[in-house]
Structure 1
Amino acid sequence: MAQVVAALAAVVPFVAVAELGRVLLGGGAGAVWGIVWVAVGALGARFVLFFLAGGLTHLADADLQLDLRRRMAFRLGQVPLGWFGSRNSGVVKKALQDDVTAMHHLVAHSLLDLTAGIVTPVAALGYLFWVDWRMALVTLVPVGLGLHFYFRAMAGYGENMVAYDQALGRINGSAVEFVNGIAVVKTFGQSRKAHERFTRAADDFATFFLDWVGGVTKVSAVGQILLSPVVMLLVVLGGGTVFVTSGWLAAADVLPFALLGLGIAAPITTLAHTSEQLRAARLAAAKVAAVLDAETLAAPEMVGADPVDGRVSLRGVHFGYAVDAPVLRGVDLELAPGTVTALVGPSGSGKSTLAKLLPRFFDVTEGSVSVGGVDIRELSAEQLYRRVSFVLQDVQLLRASVADNIRLAVPEAEQSTVERVARAAQIHERILALPRGYDSVIGEDARFSGGEAQRVSIARALLADAPILVLDEATAFADPESESAIQQALSTLVAGRTLLVIAHRLSTVAAADQIAVLNAGVVAELGRHEELLVRQGLYARMWAAHERAGSWQPHTSPLETR
């Protein structure tokens, strides 16, 4: 309402000036000061109401952004951990920060702009029709033509924006591919081809964009010219001249059209820009809604009993990322407390998927996963992660101090405890070499290699001290120096725990208590290393291929030091 009154008040000073001119040109002077004071009062009211309306919408926008970010953060705390695996941090950051910010115009400005863009020209036209309806129709001619060309320019905007996003995505993808792979392509003398792929994507994008914008620019330029103040003034003066010379209109009555006719087109141009910003805000709102609608893990209605021990049981486990594409089918597996179970199998057999069900990255579609006799779906997140920890190859460190990264599982841990687990993880000396030691911030004055980051994650797991550990073989891609340090850290970490290992190199799990061989989502074989070799099945063939490849290296596996 404040903006409606403000928009009406914005028209009053122009009406007052027009009426003042009509009075003075008509030879009258009695009502001059009354008209002046009305104009001054309307101008003051307009500024007060305008700032009031703007302040209210900006406060509403701030409240909405805070509420959305809180709700999204809460939602992200409830989604399966696997949800993040299919999305990089940039996607989450964009939703939390950029997309919420993009909605600023929708809340803080769009309603005000739409209100002013409608009320102001309607009020001005109402006054002009009161002065002379025929001249008002003449004034509307360039407005109607300008709107016609504007709508022509915007035809197909939605489809073109989709194509624009896709073309931009292709050029971004080729740029990332080119930058990330430059060392490899230069090594093999293929930098020219890689550069050509990037150049081709850039040229395709430029061709599409120029074709789209070229057609739109010509039509929109005509519309903008028709709505420009110069054209509006020429139409008003030309039409006014005809009307005055024909005796249809007094000369003084042309003044209102010269003053207010120019102001009719400006709000329409504002509405055009506002509609574009509203489209962008609508797209951002859809992305925010997608995060808020993300499927969450079912929480237990009431917290159940604590697991009695570290025994893990998988019974009839079925799982698929899509309903019609099962990854695991009827898996039965028992992990006794304090034992090591290794998952091996061909690529795509479901090893990583099965291991991620235990820390509840996803929920099974059929069957159950239980810890200490309790289905993990009946455990609260706090109960589960007190008992299950994991160390994966893809290490994620937060933009926080090194100490806080280690303290994630136990925020109240004392500094001495943090340093103790860092020593056990073979990373203490490297942290001390940082500019601020344990207070150094990841990404600012603390940058770790892959092996060093892995040891920080091992220190984190040591501090968590969970009795069950899921280990995606952390040394698979480490250099020899890092591998030695990681092996020592893992030897400390795995001692006395129930361990589920995803094995990439068979030699590292030869000493496991049991080896589960997965193939096409089922447990094809189960037993110790020697037993599986005797059976001459899939595991024996994998082991033979492993030895032929010469990948076996005599080193100490952390499993052998338990």
Structure 2
Amino acid sequence: MKTEQAEPTGVVGLGELSRPVRPRLGIAIGLQAVAAVVAVVPFAAVAELARVLLAAGPADHGRAWAVAAIAAGALAVWLLLTTAAGAIAHHADLDLQLSVRRRLVDRLGRVPLGWFTDRGAGGIGKAVQHDVDAMHHLVAHSLLNFTASAVTPLVTLVYLFWVDWRMTLILLIPIVIGIALFVRLVISLNAGTAAYDDAQQRIVSSVIEFVEGIAVVKMFGQARRAHRRYTRAADDFATFFIAWMSTSFRASAVSALVLSPVTVLLTMLAGGTALVSTGNLDALDLLPFAILGLGLAAPVQALDFHSHDLEMASAAAKRVGALLAAPTLPLPAEPRQPDLDGGVRVEFSGVEFAYDADRPVLSGVDLVLAPGTVTALVGTSGSGKTTLAKLLPRFFDPTAGTVAVGGVDLREIAPEQLYRLVSFVLQDVQLLDASVSDNIRLARPDADEESVRRAARAAAIDERVCALPRGYDSVVGRDVRFSGGEAQRISIARAILADTPIVVLDEATAHADPEAEALIQDALSELAAGRTVLVVAHRLASVVSADHIVLLEQGRMVEQGTHEELLAADGRFARMWRLQEQTGLGDAYAGAGAAKEE
């Protein structure tokens, strides 16, 4: 069997994601770095202009105009360079978002269906939308701002050292102290983050415990005690948070005060006065420090905000990278066509499955689903029923053994061909934010309205939909909200319209009320007629008419046969049947196999 191997699933980070636009980002950053150098020129020119105009003797007007022209030209060049850098960065950002979203869609379209059932849609949606957006600010803005904030102070310091190295060292005193305080603040905040997360988790846990258990504690007269536990957890969190934030705010305020223009100006004036009064510095040489020195701390402080953007974008990129590293479903290099003559036969041969090495779920399963029959999987929770059923529509691949349709291993059948053979109705129904008609024709987008209506009538949902103001054009979630049983019948209509020869039913009536349950059973009977059906059932009464019943226990087949044969054997199935009859579950309803008798 030749299959195309899945792509490597190594960690994908921000650097790898940005690879397609990295050359353009490099150009944008280079232009921004040059612009940051040029940005210092107008301020230095003002200081030099003051030297020319305030020098002893007649002013050199030619030199003054030349300096002014240089300042104006530098300003124009700075504007041109920053505009070009911003345009290139934004263009690269748009291409990056398009590239990442295309990669996500391509990857998610090739992962096993079971991968989605293990993850919430919220996390996937957050990565596809919000996490990709989180990288926008970094690529389009923060990298350029970070470059400017790093280059401008360095160029400024080089110029000021050229003017007077002693005055520059004096100017650096508050800046170095402020940066040291800020670094200490960041370290203390990082050290407290773990404690903050723990404290937040404790209060969240106490809230959930209080809310979920309020009925029980009230019943036993313990509401006051439960409330005390919650308030104690809230008070502990508030005490910790206030102490943590108070320390942080004090340190932040001290750092901001030391780096403030007022502190820098006072330090510069004190040092400058001492140097000028002792004849070690010309008074005019104070001008470059007064003009450029006051703005030296601002870019340094901005580095923190840009580093925060980098941290947020890196975290978002890791979440996106985790999706891009999801294992893909191996595809056959040379797809084979199953033999469908005489009906569709399904064979499980030596099937084993484990989610990981420490969690074996199925072991040694050998099972045949004869064409046009109903096979029921029963057993206690955790026995492996749903996992076995999900191997047929290839939600997962078995870790050992084969699942074959028409004599061909599922791994040798092209996915598009497989889903023309197999449809499934799960207990947790997912309806799209689309019209009722589009939800039903999901498996056959080209189906006409009459085919959709016919499938809805067979699923006993047509009357409910026609009663809506907009009928089949009603949008789910906006124009109408269906109950669990109604949503299940729409799901069944979808499977009926798909008209596949194999149907997998997983606890399709698990969450339905008795009235809806009867309607769903009628719809399932319509769906099961003439098809090869694999049904997962919790209530044994729902599968009494099944052609073949398999009892699973701890991932193994322990009993199999018809309902009558299993009762006559007086084994585990018979004990389960008697237990369910005693608890009232034996009076439920006729099963999916009832259609065969009709």
CA distance in structure 2 between the aligned counterparts of 1:205 and 1:383, rounded to whole angstroms: 56
Alignment gaps of 5+ in structure 1: none
Alpha-carbon deviations, 1:199-241, whole Å to 9, x = none?
5665555444434333332222221111111111111111111
Q: Which moved more, 1:302-311 or 1:461-470?
A: 302-311
Give the superposition deviation at 1:95. 0.8
Kept after mapping to 1: 8 A contact 2:374/2:592: no
- Native 8 Å contact 1:317 1:364 kept in 2: yes
Residue type of the alignment partner of 2:446: E
Distance in 2 of aligned mates of 1:314 and 1:558: 21
The 8 Å contact of residues 111 and 329 in structure 2, kept in 1 or not, is answered as yes
Query: Which position in structure 2 is the counterpart of 1:331?
Result: 365
- Report if aligned partners of 2:543, 2:592 keep a CA contact under 8 Å in 1: no
Using the TM superposition, give the Cα deviation of residue 494 of structure 1 relative to its aligned residue in structure 2, in angstroms: 0.9
Paired with 1:97 and 1:453, the residues of 2 have a C-alpha distance of 27
| Alignment match, 2:177 | 145
SS at match of 1:13: helix
Residue matched to 1:518: 552
Aligned position for 1:8? 37
Q: 2:418 aligns with which of 364, 368, 384?
A: 384
- TM-fit CA distance, 1:86: 1.6
Matched, 1:306 2:335: no
Q: How does 1:232-381 map to 2 (within 5 A)?
A: 232-308=264-340, 309-381=343-415
| 1:84 equivalent in structure 2 | 116
Please point out which of 435, 439, 442 is paired with 2:473. 439
- Partner deviation per Cα, 1:463-522 (whole Å, 9 max, x = no partner): 111111111132232112211221221121111111111111110111111111001110
Q: Is the 8 A contact 2:541 2:590 kept in 1?
A: no
Counterpart contact for 1:476–1:505, Cα < 8 Å? no
> Aligned pair in 2 of structure 1 residues 457, 284: CA closer, same or farther (>3 Å)?
same
Partner of 2:10: none
1:64 counterpart = 2:96:
yes
* Aligned positions of 1:74-223 closer than 5 A: 74-155=106-187, 157-158=189-190, 160-161=192-193, 164=196, 203=235, 205-223=237-255
Structure 1 pair 277–192 and aligned structure 2 pair: CA distance change class (3 A): farther
SS of alignment partner, residue 155 of structure 1: helix
Q: Cα–Cα, structure 1 residues 204 and 486, in superposed 2: closer, same or farther, change >3 Å?
A: farther
Tell me the matched-pair count: 562
1:396 to partner: Cα distance: 0.7
* Contact persistence 1:311–1:337 (CA under 8 A): yes
Match of 2:12 in 1: none
Measure, in 1, the Cα distance between the counterparts of 2:498 and 2:208.
36
What TM-score, normalized to structure 1? 0.94
- Selected match of 1:543 from 577, 580, 594: 577
Corresponding letter in the other structure for 1:97: Q
SS state of the match for residue 58, structure 1? helix
Q: 2:459 aligns with which of 425, 431, 444?
A: 425
- Contact 1:317/1:332 (CA < 8 Å) preserved in 2? yes
TM-score (normalised: structure 2): 0.89
Is contact 1:306–1:383 with CA below 8 Å preserved after alignment?
Answer: no
CA deviations over 1:2-29 (Å, ceiling 9, x no partner): 1012111211111111111222222434
| Counterpart for residue 47 of structure 2 | 18
Q: Once the 2 structures are TM-superposed, how far is the Cα of residue 116 of structure 1 from its aligned partner?
A: 0.5
Displacement after TM superposition at 1:267 (Å): 0.7
Cα offset, 1:525, TM superposition? 0.6
For residues 367-423 of structure 1, the C-alpha deviation after alignment (integer angstroms, 9 at most, x for no partner) is: 111111111111111111111111011001111222111111111111221111111
Q: Quick check: 547-556 or 218-227, which moved more? A: 547-556
Distance of 1:431 and 1:351 partners within structure 2: 33
The higher-RCO structure (CA 8 Å, 6+ apart) is: 2
SS of structure 1 residue aligned to 2:351: strand
The SS at the match of 2:33 is helix
The residue number in structure 2 matching 1:495 is: 529
What is the SS of the residue equivalent to 1:263?
Answer: coil
Indicate whether 1:230 and 2:262 are aligned. Answer: yes
Deviations 1:421-447 (A, max 9, x none): 111111122222334222222222221
1:110 to partner: Cα distance: 2.6
**Aligned positions of 1:400-419 closer than 5 A:** 400-419=434-453
CA contact (8 A) 2:378 2:538 kept: yes
User: Which stretch of the first structure deviates more once superposed, 37-46 or 87-96?
Assistant: 37-46
**1:45-100 Cα deviation digits (max 9, x unpaired):** 21221121111111111111111111111111111111111211111111111111
Q: Secondary structure at the match of 2:337?
A: coil
Distance in structure 2 (CA, Å) of the matches to 1:193 and 1:141:
57
Q: Is the 8 A contact 2:545 2:590 kept in 1?
A: no
Say which is worse superposed, 209-218 or 127-136, in terms of deviation.
209-218
Task: Give the Å deviation of 1:174.
Answer: 6.5
Q: Percent identity?
A: 58
CA distance in 1, matches of 2:214, 2:206: 12
The 1-side partners of 2:389 and 2:144 are apart by 54
| Range moving further from structure 2, 457-466 or 220-229 | 220-229
Residue 450 of structure 1, CA deviation = 0.6
Q: Residues 254 and 206 from structure 1, CA distance in 2 versus in 1: closer, same or farther, beyond 3 angstroms?
A: same
The Cα offsets for residues 94-114 of structure 1, whole Å up to 9 and x where unpaired, read as 111111111122211232122
The one-letter code sitting in structure 1 at the alignment partner of 2:307 is: S
Q: 2:75 aligns with which of 32, 40, 43?
A: 43
Q: In the aligned structure 2, how far is the partner of 1:12 from the partner of 1:431?
A: 72
Matched position secondary structure for 2:295: helix
